[in-house]
Every structure is written in C-alpha cells, then in structure tokens.
C-alpha cells in the first residue's frame, strides 16, 4: 500500500460514504417495511422525521461521491510517479486487478445515485410522500453496489505496490492491446463518429418532431433512456478514438485521463462533467415515464422532465463543443487531419 | 373546520426529563366559533394551541384543518399552509418595537411574495378597522398597551387566514384592555373568523362571545 495525503483523503472520503450510506440503508429498510402514510401513530411520525435525516445524509454522501470521483483522478495522477511504468492514472489503475473494476463501478454509481436524487427531489415536491417507499427500496437495492465499490477500493489501495511494473496509458489504450480498453480504442471512427452524431441529432430533435408522442409513454421513455446510454458509450469511444488524439495532437496517444492534467488546460473536467450531466439528466428524463402513477405526480414529473431535457441537451452540446473544438482548431491551424 | 384527534405531544421523549405535555387531546371547532382552552399553567394549553397552529407536530394523533391533515404535511408545505390560513396573537404580542406600525402589520406578508402595493392596501384597511391610521408611522414601542394589542390583532389578520389563535392574550392586560380585546374578538366572530384562545382569565371564559370551552388538566382535555 502507498500511503500519502491523497490516498488518505480518498480513504477517509470512501469510508465516510460507506458509513453514511450504510446508516441510511439501515434506516431505509425500516422506513420501507413500516411506512404507512395513512396512519398517525407514533412510529409513522418517527419515520416521517427519519426520511428527512436519511435524505439529507444521502445527498451528502452523493455529493462526496461526485467530489471523490474527480479527486480520484487527481490522486491517481499524483501516485503515478511512484508506480514503475505508470505515467498517469491509467497506469496506476492497471497496476492491479481491482483498479478498473473500481473505476467502472464508481462511474456506474454516479448514474445510480442520480436516479435516487431525482426520486428524492420529486418526492419532496409532493405533500403526501408518494415516492418514499420506491426511493428507499431503490436505496436498499443499490446498497450492495456501495459495499462492492468500497471493497474494490480497499483492495485496490492495499494492493498498490511500487515494485510492480505496470503499463502506461499508451499501451493500455493501444489498438494492439487485446483487452477491453484496446478493443475500445481500435473501433473505427467511421463507425463511431456517425453513430455519435446520429444519436445526438436524434436526442436533439426527437422531442420536437419525430417521436414526441412516443417519448411521452412508458415504452418511449425506456427507449429514450436506452438511447442516452448508447450516447454515453459512443461518447467514451469517441474520446478514445478521436477526441483524445486531437487534444494531445498525437495519433497514438488515446488516454482518457491525461487531458485531466494542467498541461492540457484541465479540458477533461468540463468534457466529462458535460457528458455525465447530459447522460444522467437524459436517462432520468426517460425512466421517469415509469413512475407517473397518479395525476398530480404525473404533472410534477412532466414539469421536471422538461427541465431535465433542457439540461441534458445543453450539457450534450457542451460535451460535443468541448470535445470537438480541439479538432476544429487543429484542422484550421494545420489544414490537415491526424 | 378544525379538529384534533387524540393528539399527544411528548417533549424530550425517552430521556430522563421527558414531559408529556398533551395526551390524547381531542377537540372540535366549527367555523365562526370562539373557543377557549382553559386550565392552570402547565396543563398543555399552549402546546395544544401550537399543534393546532402547525408550530409543532404531535407525536401521535392528527390535527385536521379544513379537511387538510396538517400534522401529516411535510414542513415545506406546512409553512405555506400556516401563512395562508392561520394568524397568531402571542402572549406579549411579539411585535418588533423599533419599526413602525404599518411595517409590523405587513411583516407576515413578506414571505408570501405579495406585491408592495397590495401589502399597503391590506395593511391600511386593517389599520382603519382598528383605528390605527393616526399611529401609522409610529414605532410600536411608543404605542400604548391597547394600541399594541390592536396592532397584534391586525397583524394576525393580515394574511387573510380565517383562523386566529391567541395564546394568553390578556395575561398582562387590565380589565379595560381585556374588555377592548373581547370586543374585537366579537367583531371577528361576526366576520366568520374562527378563534381559539388559550386562557385562564375568567373575564374571557365567562364572556358571551365564547361558544365553547375545553378544560385541560395535566395535558388532557377533561371537559
């Protein structure tokens, strides 16, 4: 294990999240099992008070999770010089078997948490707690993922060994690499870019002209959520195969982490921020169609969906602009492609 | 109009200094009634009034106002409900001494986002009703006890809620001012206001304006 201030910071943050969500999960179970809004007995009042506490704690945990997500990238970058062969966070993540699984689950939890935040926000908009059981059942269901994330994180940290020789990002994301990362990097731009822009156009205009009626149904909502997932996947692929090479201005450098560094103007932070925000907002807009159980709730959801759609579209455009501007600048500066 | 159904309020629950302030209290108040909660100090009158006024929630039981289960409302909705439906007159009025009469009266309208002109119109109407126009720009600290009392009642009515709750409103008043207060309550009753007063003042309890009396003892409604 490598122990420095960054690692300690991550450790404290992750353990805090785990403790807070564990406490919330325990209370979520009590609320889910005993909730009876019609009742005015002592237990029900206690549960109603408890929901405020749990919701506040969950919002705190989720905020810390997002903060840690960004901090992890910076921390791994700081650790990289201590690991033989590592030149950026990718090398550190690849130095043992737990790094990438930890990263994937951390990314997944961002979206999972976003669903909970949306459910909580909508529940707070209503005066009769219509989503309280759903949001706490959901918390109970994703709690095992938080346990897995924490275990993977601890295994990753405790197995960081400065004596292990790892691969640098150039190797991990090289087309020659036969692993998942190599396969992702080797997909042709002829497939990725038209698909990405096709999905973007579909998401941009489907609400206005083509399938507005369809997207306002359960099936349409699910389709829209799935399209957003595909948009996210193809965005990551475009980062690996196209966006990164124009940021680095090197045809062989496809690292999705190096551009988080100062040398590249921290461009990775707005890029990923827009991508995660767009996907989370768009995905949630779609799946909210599933919970329009009652008229009053449906109206509240519809109003919120409209806001989510605007956020998703603006963030999507932000991602495309941030990601493809380096290509535009490069092309106009040199008059050629990489 | 207004009912409490077996409401119980326990302070410091499960602690050594636990106090059962109100226990299984049920009352019913119809529209336009003037109801008095009477009983000795510490009998739970103020706590029951606080629960009716959405100032505190019961540990069990329900408060229902105009068919709304207010004790079940989340806090963020409760504040709006309270503002729109209930006016309070406190024991020592709780006016702000260093601001003038009209600003004191308009104060409860601020969180509601009512435009300034509308606030002025409403406040002046009430000041005319309570003969306060001459004192419009006077700081409240410079008013007499009776005038302060009228300001307090005007402030309780400013949001146009039809329920007025008064907690020991005559505790520090002499007989003359108590009489004036009861006249104003009579006037409210004529305008179909529902008034709930907690008091152990016999002058109030025995007055003709009172339509119903609930007696409290040790946190319970005994009659």
Q: What φ, ψ does residue B217 adopt, rounded to 5°?
A: -150, 130
pLDDT in tens, B140-165: 898 888 888 889 989 988 988 889 99
**A152 Ramachandran zone, left/alpha/beta (phi>0; psi -120 to 50):** alpha
pTM for this entry: 0.86
Smallest Cα–Cα separation from A79: which of A6, A10, A149, A8? A6
Per the prediction, chain A carries an average pLDDT of 89
Instruction: Give the tens place of pLDDT for each residue, B173-213.
Output: 778 778 888 888 888 888 889 999 998 888 888 888 889 99
| Helices A218-238, A295-334: crossing angle, 10 deg rounding | 20
Crossing angle of helices A42-79 and A132-158, rounded to 10°: 30
Q: Provide CB contacts within 8 A for A84, sequence distance 6+.
A: A162, A163, A164, A165, A166
pLDDT tens digits, one per residue of A270-298: 999 999 999 999 999 999 999 988 889 99
pLDDT digits (tens, 9 = 90+) for B65-89: 988 899 989 888 888 898 889 999 8
Return residues 171-230 of A near B (CB < 8 Å). none
* Region B55-63 average pLDDT: 92
Residue of A nearest to B63 (CA): A40
Q: Strand B220-221 relative to strand B212-217: parallel, antiparallel, unpaired? A: antiparallel
Nearest residue of A to residue B5, measured between CA atoms: A40
Query: Of A41, A45, A127, which has the smallest distance from its Cβ to B77's Cβ?
Result: A127
Q: How confident is the model at residue A213 (pLDDT cuts 50, 70, 90)?
A: low
pLDDT at B13 over 60: yes
CA dihedral B74, B80, B82, B87 (to 10 degrees): 170
Q: Which of B57, B69, B76 sits opposite A45 (nearest CB)?
A: B57
The whole-number pLDDT of residue A190 equals: 87
Q: With an 8 Å Cβ cutoff, is B78 touching chain A?
A: no
Q: How far is CA B152 from CA B94, B142, B184, in A?
A: 8, 14, 12
Nearest alpha carbon to residue A259 among A249, A251, A250, A248: A248
Q: Per-residue pLDDT for A263 more than 70?
A: yes
A229 exposed, middle or buried (CB, 10 Å; 0-12, 13-18, 19+)? middle
- Confidence (pLDDT) at A219: 84
Is residue B219 scored above 60 in pLDDT? yes
Q: Which of A98-102, A205-209, A314-318, B20-24 has the lowest mean pLDDT?
A: A205-209
Q: What is the arithmetic mean of pLDDT over B51-70? A: 91
Write down the pLDDT at residue A241.
87
A124 touches B: beta carbon within 8 Å: yes
Per-residue pLDDT of B88-106, as tens digits, reads 988 878 899 999 999 999 9
Of the spans A63-72, A202-211, A245-254, B172-181, which averages the highest pLDDT? Answer: A63-72
Strand partners, B60: B8
pLDDT digits (tens, 9 = 90+) for A188-198: 888 899 999 99
Q: How confident is the model at residue A151 (pLDDT cuts 50, 70, 90)?
A: very high
Q: What is the pLDDT of residue A208?
A: 58
**Helix, strand or coil for residue A158?**
helix
**Chain B from 53 to 72: CB within 8 A of any A CB:** 57-62, 69, 71-72
B133: its two tokens: 């126009």
Please state, in angstroms and rounded to a whole number, the distance separating the CA atoms of residues B219 and B10.
10
Q: For the domain bounded by B2-221, which CATH number is listed?
A: 3.40.50.300
> Is residue A210 scored above 60 in pLDDT?
no
Instruction: Tell me what pLDDT residue B183 has.
Output: 84
- pLDDT per residue over A86-144, tens digit each? 778 888 888 889 999 999 999 999 999 999 999 999 999 998 899 999 999 999 999 99
Of B60, B74, B76, the CB nearest to A40: B60
- Best probe of the B interface among A35, A39, A40, by most B CBs < 10 A, is A40
Residue boundaries of the structural domains of chain B: 2-221
Confidence of residue A311 (pLDDT cuts 50, 70, 90): very high
- On chain A, the residues whose CB falls within 8 A of the CB of B5 are 40
| Confidence (pLDDT) at B184 | 84
Q: A41 and chain B: CB distance < 8 Å anywhere? A: yes
Rounded Cα distance between A267 and B17, Å, is: 59
What's the ipTM?
0.80
Confidence (pLDDT) at A211: 59
Chain A residues inside the 8 Å CB shell of B80: none
Give chain A positions within 8 Å (CB) of B74.
48, 124, 127, 129
Comparing alpha-carbon positions, the chain A residue that sits nearest to B70 is: A127
| Cβ–Cβ below 8 Å for B5 and A129 | no
Maximum C-alpha span of chain B? 54
Say if residue A29's pLDDT is above 80. yes
Q: What is the rounded average pLDDT for all residues in chain B?
A: 89
Helix A295-334 and helix A99-125, axial crossing angle in degrees, nearest 10? 140
Q: Which residue of B has its CA nearest to A128?
A: B73
Q: In chain A, what residues touch B8 (CB-CB under 8 Å)?
A: 42
| Residue A69 and residue A106 in contact, taking contact as beta carbons nearer than 8 Å | yes
Phi/psi for A97 (5° steps) reads: -75, -10
**Which has the minimum average pLDDT: A50-59, A93-102, A157-166, B48-57?**
A157-166
Shortest Cα–Cα distance, A216 to chain B (Å): 29
Please say whether the beta carbons of A242 and A192 come within 8 A: yes
List, edge to edge, every strand of the sheet that includes B34-38: B86-89, B163-167, B194-198, B34-38, B212-217, B220-221
**A53 touches B: beta carbon within 8 Å:** no
Q: Considering chain A, what percentage of its residues have pLDDT values greater than 90? A: 57
Task: State the CB neighbour count (10 A cutoff) for residue A216.
Answer: 15
A166-175 per-position pLDDT tens digit: 777 777 777 7
CB-CB neighbours of B88 under 10 Å: 20
Residues of chain B contacting A122 with CB distance shorter than 8 Å: none
CA distance B59 to chain A (A): 5
Give the best residue of B72, B76, B77, B81 to mutate against chain A (max A CB count within 10 A).
B72
Most A CBs within 10 Å, among B5, B8, B60, B84, to test the A interface: B60
| pLDDT confidence of residue B204 | 85
Burial of B110 (0-12, 13-18, 19+ CB in 10 A): exposed
pLDDT, tens digit (0-9, with 9 covering 90-100), for B105-139: 999 898 888 899 999 999 998 898 888 888 888 99
Nearest by CB: B72 against A40, A42, A124:
A40
Model confidence at A214, pLDDT cuts 50, 70, 90, reads low
What is the interface size between A and B, counted as CB pairs within 8 Å?
A: 27
- The total of other beta-carbon atoms located within 10 Å of residue A56's CB is 12
Instruction: Choose the closest CB to A45 out of B59, B69, B76.
Output: B59
């Amino acid at each position: 294990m490598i122990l420095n201030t960054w690692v300690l910071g991550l450790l404290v943050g992750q353990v805090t999240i785990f403790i807070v969500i564990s406490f919330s999960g325990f209370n979520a179970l009590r609320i889910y099992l005993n909730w009876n809004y019609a009742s005015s007995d002592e237990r029900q009042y206690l549960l109603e008070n408890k929901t405020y506490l749990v919701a506040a704690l969950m919002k705190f945990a989720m905020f810390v999770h997002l903060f840690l997500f960004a901090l992890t990238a910076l921390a791994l970058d700081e650790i990289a010089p201590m690991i033989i062969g590592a030149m950026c966070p990718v090398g550190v993540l690849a130095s043992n078997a737990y790094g990438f699984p930890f990263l994937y689950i951390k990314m997944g939890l961002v979206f999972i948490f976003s669903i909970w935040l949306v459910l909580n926000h909508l529940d707070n908009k209503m005066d009769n707690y219509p989503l309280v059981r759903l949001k706490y059942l959901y918390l109970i269901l994703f709690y095992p993922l938080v346990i897995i994330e924490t275990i993977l994180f601890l295994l990753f940290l405790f197995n960081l060994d400065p004596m292990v020789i790892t691969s640098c990002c150039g190797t991990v994301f090289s087309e020659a690499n036969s692993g998942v990362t190599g396969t992702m990097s080797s997909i042709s731009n002829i497939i990725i870019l038209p698909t990405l822009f096709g999905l973007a156009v579909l998401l941009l205009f489907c609400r206005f002209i083509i399938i507005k009626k369809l997207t306002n149904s359960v099936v349409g909502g699910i389709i829209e959520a799935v399209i957003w997932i595909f948009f996210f996947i193809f965005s990551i692929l475009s980062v690996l195969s196209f966006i990164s090479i124009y940021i680095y201005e090197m045809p062989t450098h496809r690292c999705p982490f190096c551009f988080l560094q100062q040398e590249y103007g921290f461009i990775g932070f707005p890029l990923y921020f827009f991508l995660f925000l767009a996907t989370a907002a768009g995905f949630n807009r779609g799946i909210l169609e599933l919970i329009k159980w009652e008229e009053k709730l449906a109206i509240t959801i519809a109003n919120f969906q409209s806001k989510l759609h605007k956020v998703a579209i603006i963030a999507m455009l932000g991602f495309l602009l941030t990601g493809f501007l380096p290509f535009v600048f490069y092309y106009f500066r040199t008059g050629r492609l990489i | 109009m207004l009912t409490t159904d077996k409401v119980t309020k326990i302070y410091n629950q499960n602690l050594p200094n636990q106090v059962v302030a109100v226990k299984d209290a049920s009352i019913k108040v119809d529209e336009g009634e003037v109801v008095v909660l009477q009983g000795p100090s510490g009998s739970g009158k103020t706590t029951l009034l606080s629960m009716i006024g959405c100032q505190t929630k019961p540990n069990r039981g329900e408060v229902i106002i105009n068919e709304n289960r207010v004790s079940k409302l989340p806090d963020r909705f409760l504040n709006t409900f309270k503002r729109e439906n209930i006016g309070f007159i406190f024991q020592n009025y709780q006016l702000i001494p260093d601001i003038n009469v009209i600003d004191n009266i308009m104060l409860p309208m601020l969180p509601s986002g009512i435009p300034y002109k509308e606030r002025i119109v409403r406040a002046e109407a009430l000041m005319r009703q309570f003969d306060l126009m001459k004192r419009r720009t006077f700081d409240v600290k410079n008013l007499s006890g009776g005038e302060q009392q009228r300001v307090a009642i005007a402030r309780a009515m400013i949001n146009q809620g039809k329920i007025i709750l008064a907690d020991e409103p005559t505790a520090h008043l002499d007989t003359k001012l108590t009489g004036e207060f009861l006249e104003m309550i009579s006037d409210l009753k004529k305008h179909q206001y529902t008034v709930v007063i907690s008091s152990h003042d016999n002058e109030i309890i025995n007055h003709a304006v009172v339509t119903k009396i609930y007696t409290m003892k040790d946190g319970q409604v005994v009659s």
